[in-house]
Chains A and B, each alone.
Chain A
Amino acid sequence: MTASLPWRAALVSVLIFVALVLAWHAATRGTGSVQQMSPEYAKLMGLTATQGKSAMPGPLEIGAKLWEHVRNPFYDNGPNDKGIGIQIAYSVGRVLIGYGLAVLVAVPVGFLIGMSPLMNRALDPYIQILKPISPLAWMPLALYTIKDSSLSAIFVIFIGSLWPTMINTSFGVAQVRKEWLNVARTLEVGTFRRAFTIILPAAAPTILTGMRISIGIAWLVIVAAEMLVGGTGIGYFVWNEWNNLSIINVIVAIVAIGVGGMVLDLILARLTRLVTFPE
Chain B
Amino acid sequence: MSGFISIEGIARRYGTNAPIFEDLWLSMSQGDFVCVIGHSGCGKTTVLNILAGLDAPSEGAVIVDGKEISGPSLDRAVIFQGHSLLPWRTVLGNVAYAVSSRHRDWSTAQVNAHAQIFIDRVGLTGSEHKRPAELSGGMKQRVGIARALSIEPKIMLMDEPFSALDALTRGTLQDEVRRICTGTGQTVFMITHDVDEAIYLADKIVLMTNGPGAVLAEIVDNPLPRDRARTDIHKHPLYYGVRNHIVDFLVSRSRAFNTTGHDPRNVPVVRPTHALT
Contacts and interface: CB of A to CB of B under 8 A. Distances in A.
Given A186-B72, A188-B101, A201-B88, A279 B133 contact: yes
Interface of A is mostly: helix
B97 interface: yes
Interface in B93-108: 97-98, 101-102
A23 interface: no
Given A185-B72, A201-B88, A179 B133 contact: no
Interface residues of A, number: 17
Interface string B64-90: 000000011110111010101011100
Interface string A237-279: 0000000000000000000000000000000000000010111
Nearest to B54: A182
Contacts of A179: 80, 82, 84
Interface in A145-203: 179-180, 182-183, 185-189, 197-198, 201-202
B131 A186 contact: no
B201 interface: no
Given A182-B78, A277-B131, A278-B131, A187 B101 contact: yes
Contact of B52 (A186, A189, A279): A186
A188 B74 contact: yes
A198 B87 contact: no
A186 B76 CA distance: 8
B188 to A, nearest CB: 15
B37 to A, nearest CB: 23
A201 B72 contact: no
Given A186-B72, A186-B76, A188-B74, A180 B133 contact: no
A195 B205 CA distance: 40
A158 to B, nearest CB: 30
B151 interface: yes
Contacts, number: 54
A189 to B, nearest CB: 6
B133 A278 contact: yes
Interface bin, chain B: 20 to 34
Nearest to B147: A183
Contacts of B151: 187
Contacts of A185: 53-54, 71-72
A108 to B, nearest CB: 21
Contacts of A197: 97
B80 A182 contact: yes
A213 B131 CA distance: 29
Contact of A180 (B53, B54, B84): B84
B87 A279 contact: yes
A198 B101 contact: no
B86 to A, nearest CB: 6
Contact of B84 (A182, A188, A189, A275): A182
Contacts of B87: 277-279
A50 to B, nearest CB: 68
Contacts of A201: 86, 88
B86 A183 contact: yes
Interface string B34-64: 0000000000000000001110000000000
A251 B67 CA distance: 77
Contacts of B131: 277-278
Contact of B98 (A187, A198, A279): A187
A176 to B, nearest CB: 11
Nearest to A183: B84
Contact of B54 (A186, A198, A278): A186
Nearest to A189: B101
A201 B132 CA distance: 15
A279 B101 CA distance: 24
10 contacts: A179-B84, A182-B54, A183-B86, A186-B52, A187-B151, A188-B74, A188-B101, A197-B97, A278-B131, A278-B133
Given A180-B86, A185-B54, A186-B52, 6 more contacts: A187-B72, A187-B97, A187-B102, A198-B86, A202-B88, A279-B133
The 6 A-B residue pairs with the shortest CB-CB distance, nearest first, are A278-B133, A187-B101, A277-B88, A179-B84, A277-B87, A186-B72
